[in-house]
Structure 1
């Protein structure tokens, strides 16, 4: 009985131990399961939160703003570009229409007759300074001829689509030329090539003298050197004016001083001839003045003597 009881106790104890272990295992298992489930639930919630908050991520929001702004700016640029293109097209049409009004019937250019009509509408004479400025602005390659390309390109640069606007632009440039030394130099260099006959390399003397008078309408050199230079040329047998002579005359006129002129410097020989001519001319003037003063003095003396004789009588 005791054994059975001992056995029972032992059995019970063993069974209880097994039961306890089993219960503990179950509890641990359930705990782990519950913990695992809790972790999964927590992770799920975190993921859900991330998913939800990703729609409100500040960086994404900023990107959307930037993209929206860029899209808006792009539209503005595109609209401005379209407006500019439309304005440019209108200007082109107006300039083309103006060209057609003056162009020659048989040639796609404005020739002498058309230029005369254009000058009349601009209220200028063909040989006035503003017309030389017009040719300069068009970068015309030949006198008495404006090609279509020259005319359209030039008027677009001047931003002139009407006769009134063209006249205003020309007068503005004429004013600028009085003080803008660099611009005047560009005009001066242009004038030589503009005056050349087609295929020629030397400017005819008559054309050179006319252009010198015209181009120096503004910024005339001091000491009347231009008038003295032209007077010298008109008395010399000169075939024409070379490019170097034309270009260097501007510097020569700016610094001309007959007393300090050095013929050993790299001036064209024509300038040496001009200085010799001027020295000779000035000496003659000086001698003529001395002779004139001498004659005047003799006349005065004669008058005095005559007056004394009359008094004695």
Structure 2
């Protein structure tokens, strides 16, 4: 079978069309006036987001979620990080994200994923001007 016909026979992927409507609405829902920038989920909005997910801020799953969303800064998600991460995880509601979180933990059993997670955690935890983690 020629390569160009293969995608025709693959099973359809779930539609994520609604994600483009949901993500901006979710960012606005979690963006807090007390945070500096309403186009991102900052520390106050992050607490609301984690509460709705049923996660404690100190839970390891929060770090795994930040890794999957490719967050650059602790305690915040940009619109781009949030939308790209949710799209890649194929979730478009908080309930689907809540159901996906235990599966994300399982991804760390793969040595390459664990290595990526470890590298992410190192860079995420340090201040941008640091070369090593402080004491």
- Aligned match of 1:95 in 17, 23, 33? 23
Which has the higher Rg, Structure 1 or Structure 2? 1
Encode CA deviations 1:152-172: one digit per residue, 9 max, x unaligned: 111111111111111221210
Residues 124-144 of structure 1 show CA distances to partners (whole Å, capped at 9, x for unaligned) of 101111100010001111111
Residues of 2 paired with 1:203 and 1:145: CA distance?
20
Q: TM-score under structure 2 normalisation?
A: 0.80
Report matched runs for 1:131-142 at 5 Å.
131-142=62-73
- 1:110, distance to aligned residue in structure 2 (A): 0.8
Give the Cα separation in 2 of the matches to 1:113 and 1:200: 26
Return the alpha-carbon distance in structure 2 between the equivalents of residues 195 and 183 of structure 1. 18
Rounded to whole Å, the distance in 2 between the matches of 1:118 and 1:201 is: 31
TM-superposed deviation, 1:176: 2.8
What TM-score do you get using the length of structure 1 for normalisation?
0.36
Superposed CA RMSD: 1.9
Q: Distance in 2 between matches of 1:171 and 1:151?
A: 19
Gaps of 5+ in 1: 1-76, 78-83, 206-313
Confirm whether residue 204 of structure 1 aligns to residue 129 of structure 2.
no
Output aligned runs, 1:1-313, within 5 Å.
87-105=15-33, 106-107=36-37, 108-177=39-108, 179-205=109-135
Higher helix share: 1
In structure 2, stretches of 5+ residues that fail to align are 1-7
